[in-house]
């Protein structure tokens, strides 16, 4: 492998800068691991050259682009390119027409949570079925612009699926490190089909991340985990698009799942920036929900007020967020403080129930996304969210990402003692029958009596 040109274009430097979140040092480029060369903390992208944008003009340009046939405008990410770092040539962006995801109303889930109304922005409706695509289009484009032939990530499955797709589209090779036995088949099969070199390591996500850090020090591969700040810039656009669809009237609460904390950091950054440039007049509260068995951020906030990371040995069936040492914890802590949001944790049974309830609204999502509804129920009980508040859940992954979880739940063998946990009302196991109309009609009649009862 040859070393790609490390320097970044001067034009881009004029518009955005990489800055350390801790010591404030400004960096020429992200180096190999996107950490500050002085203090080792994470870098973020800032825009010192931003003139105060004229909100009205930009809102109208972004809307007009919705009907434009240009690939850059068809992407729900690059449509907002004035709020993103500048590529030397916009036409070189690697895009799969990501973004432009739907905002759904969830009436049954609203009732289950004690809310008058409830909405969900479904980031699982992106090209590879998760929110990762919005960040990947940006970071993969910058990787290619800098001449990298290889990109790499450690992943619980969605980042790797997305990276593999964008790398292939952009003519790059990709290296995936995933924890053996803890990635759903749906996600694993995606990275194989998209052509990644996929390595299953005998460790968890945090262990994969450590191995990857050593690899990027030794080989000219471009790191595409969410510590890469270009990814977070792309992921910001989900919040921008959400506010646009609400006619720039901010909801009271936005609720997100927390894993490695990249997404919450990105959405929070977008909210703060939108307020700074005058696109919105107040900040929604951004709250983070984790699985009880992977609750590093909850403990970090509760035990240290967000000052020091409390790592945990992660264990949850919501494998996407089975992460014990979240890289972007400090960025997320700042977002929670800036927006006045909170943290909450939910049990495996609460996640499974919430996932089935989101399914029963005709939408569905993968287990990690369902923590949002499970967490909302708790926040309503605590009074942090009022029943009349305007709440948007961010659903991060598609239902089909993890069919094994769904099937086990409905068959009643996902959780130990599942019958006793009171989840039966949502369970619908497949019914094996003789191939006769009579036996099917009997089932139909039973089901009808059951519903009308
Ligand atoms: N929801 C889903 C479906 C995810 O795949 C992830 C993270 C999260 C939520 C948490 O987001 O890490 O930004 O806080 N998945 C990563 C991966 C870690 O490798 O696919 P986060």
What CATH number matches the domain at 103-127+232-407, 3.40.630.30, 3.40.109.10, 3.40.50.2000, 3.40.50.1100? 3.40.50.1100
pLDDT of residue 425: 84
Structure tokens at 371: 């923590």
| Contact criterion met (CB below 8 Å) for 34 and 227 | yes
Ligand 1 surroundings by CB, under 6 angstroms: 130, 155-159, 226, 257-264, 320-321, 366, 368-369, 396-397
pLDDT of residue 421: 84
Question: In whole angstroms, what is the distance from residue 39 CA to residue 181 CA?
Answer: 35
Residue nearest to atom 15 of ligand 1 (CA): 320
Shortest CA distance to 59 belongs to which of 290, 245, 253? 245
DSSP conformation letters of 387-409:
TTS-EEEEE-B-GGG-HHHHHHH
Testing ligand 1's pocket by substitution, the residue of 126, 158, 205 carrying the most ligand atoms inside 8 A of its CB is 158
DSSP conformation letters of 220-233:
-EEE-STTSHHHHH
Question: In whole angstroms, what is the distance from residue 160 CA to residue 295 CA?
Answer: 23
Atom of ligand 1 minimally distant from the CA of 257: 9
Question: In whole angstroms, what is the distance from residue 98 CA to residue 15 CA?
Answer: 24
pLDDT of residue 282: 98
| Contact criterion met (CB below 8 Å) for 239 and 263 | no
How much distance in Å is there from the Cα of 51 to the middle of ligand 1? 33
DSSP secondary-structure letter at 33? T
How much distance in Å is there from the Cα of 232 to the middle of ligand 1? 12
Question: In whole angstroms, what is the distance from residue 76 CA to residue 237 CA?
Answer: 8
The pLDDT averaged over each successive group of 10 residues in the chain (453 residues) is 40 70 91 92 90 86 96 96 91 96 98 98 98 98 97 97 98 97 96 98 96 96 96 98 98 98 98 95 98 98 98 97 97 98 98 97 98 98 98 98 96 89 87 97 91 52
Testing ligand 1's pocket by substitution, the residue of 260, 295, 372 carrying the most ligand atoms inside 8 A of its CB is 260
- 3-class DSSP state of 23: coil
pLDDT of residue 214: 96
- Burial (CB < 10 A; 0-12, 13-18, 19+), residue 59, is middle
Backbone phi, psi, residue 265, to 5°: -60, -45
CA distances from 367 to 289, 325, 351 (A): 12, 20, 7
Question: In whole angstroms, what is the distance from residue 176 CA to residue 190 CA?
Answer: 11
pLDDT of residue 321: 98
- 3-class DSSP state of 8: coil
For 192-222, b where at least 16 C-beta lie within 10 A, e where not — what string? eebebebeebebbbbbbbeebbebbeeeebb
């Amino acid at each position: 492998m040859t070393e790609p040109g490390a320097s970044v274009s001067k034009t881009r430097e004029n518009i955005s800068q990489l800055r350390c979140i801790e010591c404030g040092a400004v960096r020429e480029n992200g180096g190999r691991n996107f950490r500050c060369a002085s203090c080792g903390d994470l870098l973020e992208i800032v825009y010192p050259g931003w003139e105060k944008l004229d909100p009205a003009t930009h809102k109208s340009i972004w809307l007009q682009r919705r009907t434009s046939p240009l690939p850059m405008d068809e992407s729900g990410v690059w449509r907002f390119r004035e709020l993103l770092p500048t590529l030397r040539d916009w036409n070189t962006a690697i895009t799969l027409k990501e973004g432009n995801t739907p905002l759904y109303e969830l009436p049954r889930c609203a009732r289950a949570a004690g809310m008058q109304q409830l909405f969900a922005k479904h980031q699982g409706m992106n090209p590879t079925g998760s929110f990762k695509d919005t960040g990947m289009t940006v970071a993969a484009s910058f990787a290619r612009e800098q001449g990298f032939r290889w990109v790499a990530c450690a992943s619980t499955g969605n980042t790797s699926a997305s990276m593999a797709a964008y790398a292939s589209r952009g003519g790059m090779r990709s290296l995936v490190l995933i924890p053996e036995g803890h990635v759903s088949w749906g996600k694993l099969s995606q990275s194989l089909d998209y052509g990644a070199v996929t390595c299953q390591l005998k460790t968890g996500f945090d262990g994969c991340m450590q191995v990857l850090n050593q690899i990027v020090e030794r080989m000219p591969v471009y790191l595409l985990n969410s510590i890469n700040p270009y990814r977070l810039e792309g992921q910001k656009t989900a919040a921008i698009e959400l506010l646009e669809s609400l006619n720039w009237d901010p909801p009271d609460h936005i609720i997100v799942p927390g894993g490695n904390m990249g997404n919450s950091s990105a959405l929070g950054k977008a909210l703060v920036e939108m307020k700074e440039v005058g696109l919105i007049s107040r900040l929604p509260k951004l709250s983070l929900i984790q699985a009880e068995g992977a609750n590093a951020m909850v403990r970090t906030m509760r035990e240290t007020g967000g000052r020091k990371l409390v790592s945990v040995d992660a264990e949850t069936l919501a494998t996407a967020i089975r992460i014990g040492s979240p890289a972007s914890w400090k960025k997320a802590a700042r977002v929670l403080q800036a927006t006045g949001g909170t943290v909450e944790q939910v049990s495996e049974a609460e996640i499974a129930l919430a996932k089935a309830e989101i399914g029963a609204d005709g939408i569905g999502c993968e287990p990690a996304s369902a923590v949002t509804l499970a967490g909302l129920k708790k926040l309503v009980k605590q009074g942090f969210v009022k029943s009349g508040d305007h709440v948007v859940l961010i659903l991060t992954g598609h239902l089909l990402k993890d069919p094994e979880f769904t099937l086990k739940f409905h068959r009643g063998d996902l959780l130990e003692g599942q019958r006793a946990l009171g989840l039966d009302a949502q369970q619908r196991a497949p019914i094996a029958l003789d191939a006769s109309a009579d036996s099917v009609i009997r089932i139909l009649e039973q089901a009808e009596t059951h519903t009308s009862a």
